[in-house]
Amino acid sequence: MKIYYINLNSDIERRQRMQGIFSSLNINAERVEAIDGRTTSFPLKDKYQPPIESRDFFTRDLSNAEIACYLSHLKCMRQLLLDDDDWAFIMEDDIEISSKIIPLIRDVSWIPENIKLVQLSSTINLGKTIYHEKGCYKINDCFKLIRIVKPISTGCLGYLIHKDIAQQLINDSCYIKAPIDEILFAPYFGYVSLANQYSMIPCLIKPKEGMCSSIGKRSVGYGPYLNPYVWIRRRVNTLKKTFKKYISIKDKMSEIKASPKAGAILAELMAQ
């Protein structure tokens, strides 16, 4: 499996922190230079966002930073297509990683054949009630893969992606219709179904406390109802989500905590 982390040239401290984490966990990760939406000479939305009259679900304007983030993840996916591996582990640089991730990224045979996108992170608050579909995949006594119904589990802090899905996303990205985490992990854009996407619980990656996203503050919501079709699509999706909630399993979001003694834990894991 290829392992990539996305990092801006200007974020030297973040890069050094991530390199320290990888060293302590004995992870060989390749840095992918992030595209900096703050320094581009023209609005990225003029090139990449679809015309307003063709926006049929996500209607608000994307910021330069959101588009740059999307393009940075695409850089990782394009790199995957150049390599022999079928899977990539893609991370951002504002994260904490549990040492329990080691066996899961060294051997991907645990991933069911029909799943091609696995979310390892979560931005859902720990202890918050979640609802997930009844069908799940038990990985071992600690972990299972679930399909979260509510709340929508977005966030691209860390995920596993198969090159088939990477290729499809690249093909579909002539226009950028929504932020990358919405495209991959919200059920409204097709990839949750196409990739048969599941989430790991307990989560293995979480946001680094006190560290702000390089994207900055994002706008809330999907934007205004530009026409009746947008209203109908959103209403139908809301009703679907509500229905799925009532036939789903109620659970709590949990995590495997990162340990400051990552090296010792790694030695213990490898000795098992």
Q: What is the pLDDT of residues 153-212, one digit of tens each?
A: 888 999 999 999 999 999 999 999 999 999 999 989 999 999 999 999 989 999 888 777
How many whole angstroms separate alpha carbon 37 and alpha carbon 218? 13
Closest CA to 108 of 82, 135, 92, 86: 86
Confidence (pLDDT) at 257: 55
Residue 175's Cα: distance from chain center in Å? 19
How many whole angstroms separate alpha carbon 148 and alpha carbon 203? 12
Q: How confident is the model at residue 128 (pLDDT cuts 50, 70, 90)?
A: confident
Tokens matching residue 184? 């991959």
Q: Do 167 and 173 form a contact (C-beta atoms < 8 A)?
A: no
User: Alpha helix (H) ranges present in 49-185?
Assistant: 64-82, 102-106, 163-171, 180-185
Q: Do 165 and 194 form a contact (C-beta atoms < 8 A)?
A: yes
pLDDT at 264 over 50: no
Other C-beta atoms closer than 10 Å to the C-beta of 65 total 21
Residues 6+ apart with CB under 8 A from 28: 3, 22
Average pLDDT, the chain: 87
Q: Look up the pTM and report it.
A: 0.88
